Amino acid sequence: WNNISDTGAASLADSMKINTTLTQLRLRDNNIGAAGAASLAEAMKVNTALTQLDLSMNNIGDAGAASLADSIKVNTTLTVQL
């Protein structure tokens, strides 16, 4: 895949905060860790367009999963695939 890592995930997260049209984002196997997952989670708290996020085959760990879980409490339109 693209190996965007945490830095790339943070850049995408910044865009997700203002994007109103993207509904699916597949980031499978991109070397995203807990920090990248946390960035995406923060964006998902304000993004209501995204309905599917695929983070499978990344190493987000317990901390990244916890960040995503917190964002799903706020964002009711999203399903996350880990």
Per-residue pLDDT of 53-64, as tens digits, reads 999 999 999 999
- Show the tokens assigned to 3: 């190996």
Structure tokens at 78: 């999203």
CA distances to 24, 37, 38 from 62, rounded to whole Å, are 24, 10, 11
Give burial (CB, 10 Å; 0-12/13-18/19+) of 35: middle
> In the chain, how long is the greatest CA-to-CA distance?
30
Confidence (pTM): 0.93
For residue 79, what pLDDT band results from cuts at 50, 70 and 90? confident
pLDDT at 75 over 70: yes
